[in-house]
Amino acid sequence: MNMYSYILRRLLYVIPVLLGVCFIIFIIFNVVAPDPAYVLLGRHATIEQINQLHKELGTDLPFWNQYLNTVKTAFTFDFGSSWSSKQQISEMIKAGAGPSLTLTVPLFIITFIVSISIALLVSFYRGGFIDKFVLLLSIAMMSISSLAYILFGQWFFAYKLGWFEIAGYEPGFPNFIPYTVLPVLLYLAFSWGPDTRFYRSMILDEVYQDYVRTARAKGVGELSIMFKHVLKNAMVPILTYGIIQIPMLFLGLLLAESFFGIPGLGNITIKALNTSDFPVIKAMTILSALAFIVFGVITDVLYTIVDPRMKLK
Q: How far apart, in Å, are the Cα atoms of 57 and each of 53, 75, 100, 282?
A: 6, 19, 30, 14
Lowest mean pLDDT among 21-25, 94-98, 128-132, 253-257: 253-257
Task: Report if residue 312 sits inside a domain.
Answer: no
Q: Is the pLDDT of residue 252 over 60?
A: no
Q: What is the pLDDT of residue 264?
A: 86
Best-predicted range by mean pLDDT (3-17, 213-227, 260-274): 260-274
Q: Is the pLDDT of residue 311 over 60?
A: no
Closest by Cα among 263, 256, 254 to 183: 256
pTM, 2 dp: 0.77
Question: Is there a single domain that holds both residue 61 and residue 209?
Answer: no
Q: Is the pLDDT of residue 309 over 70?
A: no
Question: Is there a single domain that holds both residue 128 and residue 239?
Answer: yes
Question: Is there a single domain that holds both residue 173 and residue 263?
Answer: yes
Amino acid at 259: F
Q: Which residues pair with 81 in a beta bridge?
A: 88
| Span 98-141, pLDDT tens digits | 888 888 888 888 888 888 888 888 888 888 888 889 888 888 88
Q: Is the pLDDT of residue 313 over 70?
A: no
Task: Report if residue 185 sits inside a domain.
Answer: yes
Task: Report if residue 84 sits inside a domain.
Answer: no
Q: Is the pLDDT of residue 307 over 70?
A: no
Last residue of a domain, one of 43, 76, 109: 76
Task: Report if residue 164 sits inside a domain.
Answer: yes
Q: What is the pLDDT of residue 155?
A: 92
Q: Compute the C-alpha angle 108/248/156, nearest 5°.
A: 65
Last residue of a domain, one of 27, 43, 76: 76
Backbone angles phi, psi at 45, to 5 degrees: -70, 150
Question: Is there a single domain that holds both residue 97 and residue 163?
Answer: yes
Question: Is there a single domain that holds both residue 45 and residue 150?
Answer: no
Q: Report the percentage of the chain scoring pLDDT > 90.
A: 2
Lowest mean pLDDT among 36-50, 147-161, 168-182, 205-219: 36-50
> Residue 287 is part of a domain; what is its CATH number?
1.10.3720.10
Higher pLDDT, 7 or 100: 100
Closest by Cα among 278, 259, 230 to 152: 259
Mean pLDDT, residues 185-200 taken together: 87
pLDDT band at 156 (very low <50, low <70, confident <90, very high): very high
Q: What is the pLDDT of residue 142?
A: 83
Question: Is there a single domain that holds both residue 24 and residue 112?
Answer: no
Q: What is the pLDDT of residue 29?
A: 79
Angle between helix axes 265-274 and 235-252 (nearest 10 degrees) is 50
How much is the mean pLDDT over the chain? 82
Q: Report the percentage of the chain scoring pLDDT > 70.
A: 94
Q: Is the pLDDT of residue 312 over 70?
A: no
Question: Is there a single domain that holds both residue 202 and residue 248?
Answer: yes
Contacts of 243 (CB under 8 A, 6+ apart): 295, 298, 299, 302
CA distance 277 to 83: 6
Q: Is the pLDDT of residue 228 over 70?
A: yes
Task: Report if residue 82 sits inside a domain.
Answer: no
Q: What is the pLDDT of residue 310?
A: 57
Note down the domain range covering 18: 3-76
Task: Report if residue 26 sits inside a domain.
Answer: yes
| Tally of domains in the chain | 2
Last residue of a domain, one of 76, 109, 130: 76
Question: Is there a single domain that holds both residue 300 and residue 167?
Answer: yes
Question: Is there a single domain that holds both residue 201 and residue 106?
Answer: yes
Question: Is there a single domain that holds both residue 160 and residue 187?
Answer: yes
Question: Is there a single domain that holds both residue 145 and residue 208?
Answer: yes
| Span 235-245, pLDDT tens digits | 778 887 888 77
Question: Is there a single domain that holds both residue 28 and residue 139?
Answer: no
Mean pLDDT, residues 13-36 taken together: 81
| Span 264-280, pLDDT tens digits | 888 888 888 887 788 88
| Span 72-81, pLDDT tens digits | 888 888 888 8
Task: Report if residue 212 sits inside a domain.
Answer: yes
Higher pLDDT, 46 or 199: 199
